[in-house]
Amino acid sequence: MAHQINHDECIGCGACASDCPTDAISERNGAYVVDEGMCIDCGACNAFCPVGAIAPAE
């Protein structure tokens, strides 16, 4: 299961993107998004998000 970013909580710092081992997170139109096809569900992004805006997709 891929992770997803809650855009209401995201502060746009980019910590998640820089720590993703598969480069599955990128900035698009001013918001960070997870490419579900590239996400390996490792949780690294969630561990480094300073506001806890990332969680496993439902």
Binning pLDDT at 50, 70 and 90, where does residue 57 land? confident
DSSP codes, the chain: --EEE-TTT-----HHHHH-TT--EEEETTEEEE-TTT-----HHHHH-TT--EEE--
* pLDDT at res. 34: 95
Tokens for 42, please give them.
Answer: 């490792």
50 near 16, Cβ under 8 Å?
no
The predicted model scores a pTM of 0.87
All structural domains of the chain, each given as residue ranges with its CATH number in brackets, are: 3-56 (3.30.70.20)
Please say if the pLDDT value at position 1 is more than 90.
Answer: no
**10-55 pLDDT tens trace:** 999 999 999 999 999 999 988 999 999 999 999 999 999 999 999 9
Q: What is the pLDDT of residue 17?
A: 95
Distances (CA, A) of 55 to 13, 15, 34: 16, 15, 11
